[in-house]
Amino acid sequence: MPDISLTTILLLCVAAAAAGWIDAVVGGGGLLLLPALVMGLPGTMASTFALGTNKAVAIVGTTGAAITYVRKTPVDVKIAVRVGLAALAGSMSGAFFAAGISNGVMRPMIMVVLVGVGTFVIFRPGFGTAPATGPATRQRILAAIALAGLGIGFYDGLFGPGTGTFLVLALTAILHFDMVTASATAKIVNVCTNAGALAMFAYQGYVLWQLGLLLAAFNLAGAMLGARTALKKGSGFVRVVLLVVVFTLVAKLAYDQWVAA
């Protein structure tokens, strides 16, 4: 483990627990934990160590949340696995290219997409609140594999923050799931994206395993609580949290792009 003060480790544990709760409800926990890792690790370490360690933490919490959802709410596991396998391949590819992509190019593009998504959800109050409308068609499943699997999986390996949020939105829009079902399905897919990216980062030697395992325990506790909260409160609650996460992520990316730069 790198030389980190006890105070910093405690703050990282709190951030990991909060990130687990956010991820389990609607995704986007990376917008909290990843910057915390970047600030908490010694400045001499490459940012890819924060990316790799974040994946080691996130996969534990996401797996716990996925198990909780599957036990408590109907999830089409076949669809989730198909999209998840595509996401596994996409995230490994994204992680492979992570070191060569400029965040200064990525951030503005992501901000535009998020603002558009947030605006759409605000002006479509019924989005994601109605029950799923029957089984998904083959065409919709293929579209989900391409966009939510390969596309968002690649983004998760490449950059990461907001992946769970993008998955919830994509699955709701493409497969016509309600947001609780979409969030549950997204957790299974997100396990696969985290696994793919983690495998690549581990192969490249960018995972701080001791720190990651410590933070993973707190992330798991937050994720289990978040999944139970979402199941209890329903789609309306998830929709509100989603909007908060979307616009918080936009603000964070904007700050990184134009203020902190």
Q: pLDDT of 79-133, one tens digit each?
A: 999 999 999 999 999 888 876 665 566 567 667 777 877 787 777 776 666 666 6
Residue 79, C-beta contacts closer than 8 angstroms, at least 6 positions apart:
136, 141, 144, 175, 185
Q: pLDDT of 174-190, one tens digit each?
A: 998 888 888 889 999 98
CA separation for the pair 114, 47 (Å, rounded)? 24
Mean pLDDT of the chain: 85
pLDDT value of position 29: 81
pLDDT at 199 over 80: yes
pLDDT at 150 over 90: yes
Beta strands in 97-246 (DSSP E): none
pLDDT at 140 over 80: yes
Q: How far is CA 3 from CA 42, 44, 137, 188, 211, in A?
A: 7, 11, 53, 34, 11
* pTM recorded for the entire structure: 0.79
- Asked if 181 and 132 count as a contact pair (C-beta separation under 8 A), the reply is yes
Domain boundaries, the chain: 6-259
- How many other C-beta atoms can be found within 10 angstroms of the C-beta atom of residue 109? 10
Question: Which DSSP state fits 133?
Answer: -
